[in-house]
Amino acid sequence: MASIWRYLLAGVGLAALLAGVLAVVYLTAPQSAQTVGPDVSRTKKTDNGLYMASFVPERGVVRQGELESWLLTLKTKTGASVERAAIAISGGMPQHNHGLPTSPQVTDYLGDGRYRIEGLKFTMSGWWQLRFAISSGAGSDTVLFNVVL
């Protein structure tokens, strides 16, 4: 009888040791990039600081798998609306080696520096990138937005 309790005690001791080792491994493991995630802010200064760009879905929500229309608002450093800018859109999913599934385009200028971007489509969940190359009287600059679905 006593020997069984000894074995049981040894078992509990070994289990505690294992749990301790696992806890150390878990707590000291490097944080993976996924838990941090990319910067998903929708208002950003362009890369060279020429413009302030904000990017919002026109309907307010993003629906996966549907053609979407978003609004891009461009202001200069002094807060003036950027009129008649030429805008090229590119992007894709950096983790899947593919670009965008559609070719979104600027289809309308709505005034006050607001441009309608049509033909966006997010076909899968995950990390998407949208890059805008902007050119106007104030100069040429780029901005990258991250969208995580």
Partner 1 sequence: MKRLFCLLALMVAVILVGCGKPDFSDAEKKTIASLALNTLPSLKPDTTNRIADVPAAAALGSTLFFDLGMSRDGTVSCSTCHKIDRQFQDDLPQAVGVGRTNRRTMPLAGVARDPWFFWDGRRDSLWAQALTPLENPLEQAGNRTAYAHYIKTRFGERYERIFGPLPDFAGIPLNASPLGNDAERAAWNAMSDPQRDAINRVYANIGKAIAAFERSIEPAQTRFDRFALDLATGAEPKGDAVFTREEILGLKLFIGKANCVTCHNGPRFTDNSFHNTGVPPVADLPPDRGRVDAVAQVEADPFNCFGAYRDGDASACGELRFMVKDAPQLVRAYKTPSLRGAATRPPYMHAGQFSSLDEVVAHYAKAAPSVEGTTEIHPLQLSDRERAALVAFLRTLTE
* 3-state SS class at 144: strand
Q: Applying CB under 8 A, which of residues 121, 135, 142, 146 lies at the interface with partner 1? A: 121
**Does 59 participate in binding partner 1 (rule CB under 8 A)?**
no
- C-beta neighbour count of 45 within 10 angstroms: 13
Interface with partner 1 by CB under 8 A: which range of 17-25, 38-46, 61-69, 75-83? 61-69
The mark string for 65-104 relative to partner 1 (x by CB under 8 A, - otherwise) is x-x------------------------x---xxxxxxxxx
Q: Which residue, 76 or 102, is less far from partner 1 as judged by CB?
A: 102
* Rounded least distance, CB 98 to partner 1, Å: 4
State the Cα–Cα distance between residues 113 and 69, nearest whole angstrom. Answer: 16
b/e for 67-102, b at 16 or more Cβ within 10 A? ebebebbbbbeeeeebeebebebebebeeeeeebee
